[in-house]
Structure 1
Amino acid sequence: MAVDYAVIIIYLVGMLAVGWWGMRRAKSKSDFLVAGRRLGPAMYSGTMAAIVLGGASTIGGVGLGYQYGLSGAWLVFAIGFGLLALSLFFSARISRLKVYTVSQMLDLRYGGSSSVISGAVMWAYTLMLAVTSTIAYATIFDVIFGLDRTLAIMLGGGIVIAYSTLGGMWSITLTDMAQFVVKSVGVLLLLLPIAVWKAGGIDGMQKQLPDDYFAPMNIGVETVFTYVLIYSFGMLIGQDIWQRVFTARSDTVARNGGSVAGVYCLVYAVAGAVIGTSAKALFPKLDSPDAAFATIVGEALPVGVKGLVLAAALSAVMSTSSGALIACATVANNDIWKRLRRTPPEPAAADEAGGGGGHDEVRGNRVFILIMGLAVVVISIALNDVVEALTVAYNLLVGGLLVPILGGLVWKRGTANGALSAVAVGGTAVVAMMVWKGVLANEAIYYGLLASLLAYVVVSLAGKPTDPAVLAEWRARLAGRTSTGAEAEPDAADAAGAAGAEDAGGKPGSGAPAGV
């Protein structure tokens, strides 16, 4: 085990070192929150795959494979389908907006001030996503070091808080790329073939397991439909996902790089289900499906390889946790705190130059990451099971925000009142159905989405159309043209700064690598 311990410790120290290196490159708000909008296709694809494939996709995906066989891949399939849809149909338009949050997009599109309302919903979602990932450290560190639950959460959470606070999105991007490599090697190249071999190959598993384990819909049609509604649509509107789209240096990178990451998710889905099926053949009487990953790693892998695969599981959790943390802090600071204080936007020149107001912006966002990170650790220690809380957050996110966000992108007749009505009615319907049918009931998301859509269409058609000047501003931003609105000036300057950096031979002024 000494070799396995060494692998894990080297990995954790490496994450902190990358965080320190990233701090030297986060000199402006754009650098800190969206990596200067400079990521090329390779790094963009890797980091996007890292953020969407977390502990639920890795440990949970193997657990579903243990419980349902190959059809356990559907949860991660839904994530991959959502990422493909986002990349192919929406990412180019989202990237051109040059904003920092989903709520800022709503304000641009509808000409209202919905940031506080929509930001509160998005903040709850990202907070609980970070909490869920942080709690997963307890399981992994218990397997690795036998640590107490509280200490494990503090250790894992502390490392993520440290590198996220130091360098913001630059540090998170660099650590996510390292985590993507570790995850790919550990899960796809090592654990998958070894698990299948230990289980006697596909033929051996078919002899030991019921035929249902190899049926594509063994998990249930309704379950698959619910996964698509929650996770595929959730990929389209989550702040943690959009904030990665904002890091792409061009429309083409966002579209093609995201599509590559989506295909990778589909491969990862199959791998997790096959590993889980192998675990069922090898260890048919585990107490919990979620124990399948730790069991097959601990019992089937040789020394050294075991440490690398556990590092892969840890990297999956850390990538989701850090992405959710910076998204939570960005929303809390820019959509809630600044709106409540009515703080004006920083001058574009100061932000892009990395001096004056730029330093203030970086420092303010760094403080919010630290505060939100500490809150996540405290909540994670206090809660034993956040499945219901995460379900509430996802239901509110999709039921309340999906319609006004996608409606704003595809339907020009949608209005600010229609959007606010959709958030309020959809959110209320979701809560009412969860109270009536139970938090985990599928009906909550079904009726929440339907109510939100009806409210959006009816209220939008019943009221006055959106101001033509607002729509003109919106169309200009979607087309990638320079904005005329004062509110958007810092973001337009971000785009100009990124473009200038690329024109200068791919050497951004911040010192960060372009086109990697």
Structure 2
Amino acid sequence: MDGYSVFLALLAVYIAGLVAIGWYFNKKQKSVTDFWLAGRRIGPSALGFSAAASWLTAGGILAVIGYYMLQGMGSVWAFVAPNILALLIIALLVGKIKNLPAITQPELLEQRYGSAVRWPIALIITVVMILFAVADVTGLSLVLQVFYGLDPLYAAAIVAIAVSLYVTLGGLSAVVWTDVVQFAFLSIFTIAMAFAAVGTVADGGFGTPAISSSELFGNVPDVWWNPFSIGIPMVLIFVLAIVPGWITEQDPWQKVWAARDAKSARLGMIIGSLMITVVFAACAVIAIALNNIYPDIAGMGFPAGMALAEPALLAFVSERFASAPLLIALSAIGLAAASMSCADTFATSGASCISRDIYQRYIKPDATMKEMLVVNRISVLIIVLAATAGSFVIPNIIDAIHIATFIASASYFFPLMGGLYWKRATKEGAFAGMVLGFVVQVALVILDLVNTPPMASSYLETIHPALMSHGVIVGMGLSAIAFFGVSLMTKPSSRVNLAPFFEEEAEELARYETREISETDPSYSAFLKNIDENVAGERTHLQLNLRASGALSWHELVEKLKSSSPAWVTPTGLDSVYRLTHGDMLACVAVTRGSGEQDIWLKAEPKLETVGRQRKELFTAYEELKKVLGQKGVKLDFY
């Protein structure tokens, strides 16, 4: 069996294992929260593995090694340090993020500002996720091309088929637990390559003089170790350009929401940052050894040398293990795992924006869960195909990641973070900052790409150093001016929009309307037996699945609920209707469409100390729902 056949056999087994994980979690899904947020039950270890795997793409690792080879530790600010810093900053923000009642960032921004901002932010996030996925497709394409001489379309096909299968089966649960497997493959591969590269130098392989490990690391120039060799101004520009985009990425926020409690989310992000630090340290060791093996590459300098530095590890693996096709195949699987672990996250985040924030919110509010899964599956394929097309336009791996990050930083950093911490932020200000930042940043990126020769310094950077990173500082500056300026000139947000984000506003809005319910009431006792109740961290998940006896007009049902009591509100559109009785919207009862045409799901996620009251609240909501449907001659049954 030749090397390519070995690779295909291992890949088939690997993908089958991922699909099996997706199928397992498919059987456990009973609600929208189960699919998109893994039932909010993810513990810190799994979250840490997933957070690390989601930000370690195969292309990113190859590019980091290339940067290390050409620029040493001064290059950490272009990718490595922002990765670590962003996860640690998100850990600090967990307390604010975790208790927000949203599944996606567009849904969250609609709760904060209103419907005007949901569709543009959904489109922007989708574009950003596609650009991030470009790096995954490009990286895997490079691996398959160097190892087996395959066309880049093969990489897209592998990512599209594998990711669409297990993601659309198991949702975020599948993403998280396949990430655990994928990070294990990736980290083992990276650390093994560090030992292999150093061992090759020690043995005098590739025609190099044999030197000990201590001599290898002792001969590295002092400037290589200096993380500030690029200058403090450049360090600050990189941090300001990259970190805001990464701390506001949708995918880590979704994982914070999926954590079983705030402590698990915070610890998971810290674990993730430590894990990627270990992998990046192994990449530095590989780079030092490869500089000794391929001294001509380091001599070419940056950026001219990147064309050879990025695939240097692949060239080493091909040459070092030429007589061991199984080891090359395993290396390819390790890098494919890195590509899939990022692509599944980006595809999930982007597809949730298309299916939930655009299709269900604006096109078909009464879409069932089954319909949403179909749209989600198609959306995953669209994102991967778009990423494949993008890989031919943006062939540089890190540039694809940076462009996505800069668009995120310039478009929705201020509307999102400002909405969390500044009461005076308005929908007009958010819309203006978002759209202006997006348009300006995309224009600057196109201008830079069109006018920059291959492997040369960027066109904008040659005009002025402040315009480096595709002019993102300009894009962010204009977005900030529009956001703050327009917000101060327009009417403040309503209390309904502020309540989930600011405790004092929630206290003013609170309506405690739960009627007195006797614990001995037979109907209440029968009701309790049908509640699916699970404790996850600091909250209890209450889920009630109902089936109507006749066809449902979802739009009419929601409107009748809203007219029956002022407690029923739709802060994020008709797909979810909340019974807003207090400021903790996660604890409030929400009614959503079920998996079938006649299915209705009621859920609430109260804190442990209030679960008794919220059981009665759920019963009250059930009675009100039953009364509204009864007026149309429709009955409700438990299932």
Q: Same fold (TM over 0.5)?
A: yes
**2:273 — aligned with what?**
262
Instruction: Compute the displacement of 1:198 (Å).
Output: 3.3
2:167 pairs with 1:145: no
Q: Contact 1:72–1:273 (CA<8 Å) still a contact in 2?
A: no
2:518 pairs with 1:496: no
Deviations 1:136-158 (A, max 9, x none): 22112234433233233323332
Classify the secondary structure of the residue corresponding to 1:147: coil
- AA at the equivalent of 1:214: W
Distance in 2 separating the partners of 1:306 and 1:20: 30
**2:117 — aligned with what?**
114
2:261 pairs with 1:253: no
Instruction: Compute the displacement of 1:47 (Å).
Output: 0.8
**1:340 — aligned with what?**
362
1:329 to 351, 354, 359: 351
Distance in 2 separating the partners of 1:280 and 1:478: 59
**2:139 — aligned with what?**
136
Instruction: Compute the displacement of 1:406 (Å).
Output: 0.9
Q: Contact 1:63–1:292 (CA<8 Å) still a contact in 2?
A: yes
**2:26 — aligned with what?**
23
Q: Contact 2:60–2:135 (CA<8 Å) still a contact in 1?
A: no
Deviations 1:364-415 (A, max 9, x none): 43343344444444x2575462666654433221111111111111222212
- AA at the equivalent of 1:44: L
Matches within 5 A, 1:8-157: 8-74=11-77, 75-88=79-92, 90-157=93-160
Classify the secondary structure of the residue corresponding to 2:310: helix
CA 1:123–1:385 in 2, change beyond 3 Å: closer, same or farther? same
Matches within 5 A, 1:46-445: 46-74=49-77, 75-88=79-92, 90-188=93-191, 190-199=192-201, 200=211, 203-206=214-217, 209-286=220-297, 288-300=308-320, 303=324, 306-341=328-363, 343-344=364-365, 357-377=368-388, 379=389, 383=393, 385=395, 391-431=402-442, 433-434=444-445, 440=458, 441=460, 443=467, 444-445=471-472
CA 1:461–1:375 in 2, change beyond 3 Å: closer, same or farther? closer
Distance in 2 separating the partners of 1:201 and 1:244: 44
Give TM-score scaled by structure 2 length. Answer: 0.69
Deviations 1:315-351 (A, max 9, x none): 111111111111111111222333432x4367xxxxx
Deviations 1:414-439 (A, max 9, x none): 12122112113323443454466667
CA 1:262–1:242 in 2, change beyond 3 Å: closer, same or farther? same
Instruction: Compute the displacement of 1:63 (Å).
Output: 1.4
Q: Looking at secondary structure, tell me which structure has more strand per residue.
A: 2
**1:486 — aligned with what?**
570
Give TM-score scaled by structure 1 length. Answer: 0.83
**2:597 — aligned with what?**
none
Distance in 1 separating the partners of 2:441 and 2:150: 38
Distance in 1 separating the partners of 2:402 and 2:134: 13
**1:349 — aligned with what?**
none
Structure showing greater radius of gyration is: 2
- The answer to which structure, 1 or 2, has the higher relative contact order (CA under 8 A, 6+ apart) is 1
- AA at the equivalent of 1:328: G
Q: Contact 2:19–2:162 (CA<8 Å) still a contact in 1?
A: yes
CA 1:66–1:157 in 2, change beyond 3 Å: closer, same or farther? farther
- AA at the equivalent of 1:216: P
Structure 2: which 5+ residue stretches go unaligned? 202-210, 298-306, 451-457, 461-465, 508-537, 542-566, 579-585, 591-601, 612-639
Q: Contact 1:426–1:449 (CA<8 Å) still a contact in 2?
A: yes
